[in-house]
Structure 1
Amino acid sequence: MFISSAFAQTTSATPGGPDLLMQALPFVVMFGLLYFIMIRPQMKRQKEHRAMIEALAKGDEIATAGGLLGKVTKLGDSYIGLEVAGGVEVQVQRSAVVQVLPKGTIK
């Protein structure tokens, strides 16, 4: 017919041998880099943020994600009372706290 003879390609490697390892190696290296560049630092930041939120106490001066600066007056499980100016108190979620400021920052 059209093809006079067909030749099959032979491989000397056994299935699951070095060829499989060499094919999987780039994926393992990429996952390792992804873990150390993106996942691990994010987990570290989350752990530090959680510790900061748990350590809040009355009288701490904080900054929120919305840009409010104030002094903590009440502490609840998921909300805190925040005095922002002249006795005005608002409630914000604990997770909205971005930073605990040094004492005396807000005057």
Structure 2
Amino acid sequence: MLLGLLVSTAHAQTAAPAGGQPSAFEMFVPFIFIFVIFYFLIIRPQSKRQKEHQKFLAEIKRGDEVITTSGILGRIEGITDQFVTVEIADGVKVKMLRTQIATTQKSATEEKK
């Protein structure tokens, strides 16, 4: 009797579950869902900000008061395709990459209000 109980218990443990394996599509649904969330929360807003910054850099002109990414305030004295000359004090001019201009001083004060 003890032997029959052990055999039936062992047989019950080796039985396969009734549900079976999920399909390949069902396995990838959570990954697709996570990618969609990342796209709308991270990728899309970042690319939108990047396009706005590129547009801003194309529109800057000589005489604009700007703030650099390092926090230096100055006035644009010269512009080329890649570089900008910024006067940060009387007679002190710094040549830097155009992409390092963060914003204009007007837009920075407007954001505070």
TM-score range, shorter chain: 0.7 to 0.9
Pairwise mapping of residues 36-75 of structure 1 onto structure 2 (< 5 A)? 36-75=40-79
What is the deviation of 1:8? 7.7
Gaps of 5+ in 1: none
Pairwise mapping of residues 1-107 of structure 1 onto structure 2 (< 5 A)? 9=16, 19-102=23-106
- If the length of structure 1 is used for normalisation, what is the TM-score? 0.77
CA distance in 1, matches of 2:84, 2:19: 69
Gaps of 5+ in 2: 1-6
What is the deviation of 1:87? 2.4
CA distance in 2, matches of 1:52, 1:9: 63
Q: Which is richer in helix?
A: 2
Moved over 3 A (4+): 7-13
What is the deviation of 1:101? 1.6
CA distance in 2, matches of 1:96, 1:57: 15
**Cα deviation digits, residues 3-35 of structure 1 (max 9, x gap):** 998x7849787x9xx722221110110110011
**Cα deviation digits, residues 51-94 of structure 1 (max 9, x gap):** 11111101110000122111101001111111111122111111
CA distance in 1, matches of 2:17, 2:96: 69
1:102 aligned counterpart, secondary structure: helix
With CA pairs under 8 Å and 6+ residues apart, which has the higher RCO, 1 or 2?
Answer: 1
**What one-letter code is carried by the residue in structure 1 that aligns with 2:30?**
P
